């Protein structure tokens, strides 16, 4: 089945409403950061002192992010990638539902006008 992803539908709506490629890209970057921050926060509750030291010992942010993902999976039994995808899907579902509601309201207003 060649169905668009939920996030692709969100991007299509944003472009339909006049967002530029740069605005869409910035929005997706911020949304991904939010998803990662949620995972990081949830992981922090599960991480040991040794885990924190291992994260801090990473030479750069990218390797620290990878360490966080690995430790998150180890400590919570859940995949950081799956949790991120769920966050993005949940966001997209809410966004698209709100968009459909707006369209329905706009349609009913134009019919009465």
Alpha carbons 90 and 85: distance in angstroms, whole number: 8
What confidence category does residue 112 fall into, taking pLDDT thresholds of 50, 70 and 90?
A: low
The CA–CA distances, whole Å, from 56 to 4, 24, 36 equal 39, 32, 17
pLDDT tens for 9-54 read: 999 999 999 999 999 999 999 998 999 888 878 888 889 999 999 9
Report which of 105, 91, 65 is spatially closest to residue 10, judged by C-alpha positions. 91
Read off the DSSP letter of residue 16.
Answer: H
Asked if residue 113 has pLDDT above 80, the reply is no
């Amino acid at each position: 089945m060649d169905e668009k992803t939920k996030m692709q539908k969100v991007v299509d709506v944003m472009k339909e409403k006049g967002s530029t490629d740069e605005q869409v890209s910035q929005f997706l970057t911020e949304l991904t950061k939010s998803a990662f921050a949620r995972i990081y926060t949830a992981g922090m509750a599960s991480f040991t002192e040794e885990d924190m030291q291992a994260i801090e010992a990473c030479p750069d942010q990218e390797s620290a992010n990878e360490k966080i993902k690995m430790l998150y999976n180890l400590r919570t039994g859940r995949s950081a990638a799956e949790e991120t995808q769920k966050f993005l899907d949940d966001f997209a579902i809410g966004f698209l539902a709100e968009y459909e509601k707006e369209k329905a309201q706009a349609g009913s207003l134009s019919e009465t006008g």
